[in-house]
Amino acid sequence: MSHPIRLVDCGSVPALRSQTVFHAVAYAMTPETPDTILLVAPGEPYVSVGFHQDVDKEVDLDRCRELGIPVIRREVGGGAVYLDGNQLFCQWIFQQGRLPAMLEDRFALYVTPLVETYRSLGVQAEYRPVNDVHVNGRKIGGTGAALIGSADVLVGSLMFDFDVDTMAQVLQVPSEKFRDKVHQGLREYMTTLRRELGTPPGRDEVVRAYVDACSAALGRAVEPGPLTAAETAMAEELDGRFASDEWLFSAGGLRKHGVKIHEDVHIREAVHKAPGGLIRATAQLRHGRIADVAFTGDFTLQPGSLVASLERELRGTPLEAAPVGACIDRFYDRYRPQSPGLEPGDWSEALIKLAASPETGP
């Protein structure tokens, strides 16, 4: 592939735009749009929640309001994370077919320049499948992938520093004692350029190293260029959508909107942790069958719209291992989704746990 990659360095932008800009490039993509790498940092802190997450379950919205921290949903899977100007977002928006077909291979390619950048700066980073970057057992960044519009999208960041205190405050937890444990875990398990080097290098040095590493990993030239007028217009349009409550609360609808409960109708919820992320199943059960179900969590499933398809397929299925497993196997055979770190059995296990889970209200 001889076509150069466009590098758009957006600098520091408002929090909302730091998310909408890469979605905009994807949605505005035409066959003539160059493969693009965006570099961007938010001008103020915010919390980003994954495409499949139920925001009420993952984020302490009251605490975020107290702190004046907005919460923004993205169209990429993964978990809730606190973000600020101490991270440099590295966002790839490529034409379909230009990146490896398998998500596991795509993640490995995307992570390579991140790892090489850290190493060139004196930090011994390494790729930890499925989609993380680690330094001596500590996480220095995660990545995400999505099909947005007609583009393959990969996102991640280079971590200059990280505010673990605020991250621990904004997560939804069952108790303050549990929050203390989260805070301790973040301090022990996460690292940054500042933690590894004492004083992090300057942004220009990091950008140069990253661009060089991208060119080497992709075997293509990386050349600076601007956003088009169509991409900017799309970003402005998406700003309105991504700032809306309708978009923020668009996952987990079964639980939030509630149902009329009869004596033979039950709402139950169960959680299963798989290598590829957490699956939360919330289901309406009627006479031992799945009347309705909603899956939320920090998993990656591509295309993301197939989560709704799986939910529809399961309606009417008896809540038993054999019929649930057969339904999910048929779904995988029919749609061939990519779900790195998740097997059909992980969805089945989340559902079968419903039988023993406590009942929850609407």
Q: Which two tokens stand for residue 150?
A: 């007609």
Residues 307 and 32: their CA atoms lie apart, in Å, by: 31
Of 107, 98, 115, 193, whose CA–CA distance to 150 is shortest?
Answer: 98
Q: Concatenated DSSP letters for 83-120?
A: E-TTEEEEEEEEETTSS-SSHHHHHHHHHHHHHHHHHH
Residues 40 and 9: their CA atoms lie apart, in Å, by: 6
Residues 71 and 316: their CA atoms lie apart, in Å, by: 35
Residues 193 and 48: their CA atoms lie apart, in Å, by: 21
Residues 47 and 90: their CA atoms lie apart, in Å, by: 17
Q: Which two tokens stand for residue 157?
A: 């960041």
Domains of the chain: 5-248 (3.30.930.10), 253-356 (3.30.390.50)
Q: Which two tokens stand for residue 148?
A: 């947005």
Helix (H, G, I), strand (E, B) or coil at 284: strand
Assess contact for 75 and 186: CB atoms under 8 A. no
Strands 132-135 and 125-128: antiparallel
From first to last of the 362 residues of the chain, give the pLDDT tens digit.
Answer: 478 999 999 999 999 999 999 999 999 999 999 999 999 999 999 999 999 999 999 999 999 999 999 999 999 999 999 999 999 999 999 999 999 999 999 999 999 999 999 999 999 999 999 999 999 999 999 899 999 999 999 999 999 999 999 999 999 998 999 999 999 999 999 999 999 999 999 999 999 999 999 999 999 999 999 999 999 999 999 999 999 999 999 875 554 433 434 445 678 899 999 999 999 999 989 888 999 999 999 999 999 889 999 999 999 999 999 999 999 999 999 999 999 999 999 999 999 998 876 665 44
* pTM, two decimal places: 0.87
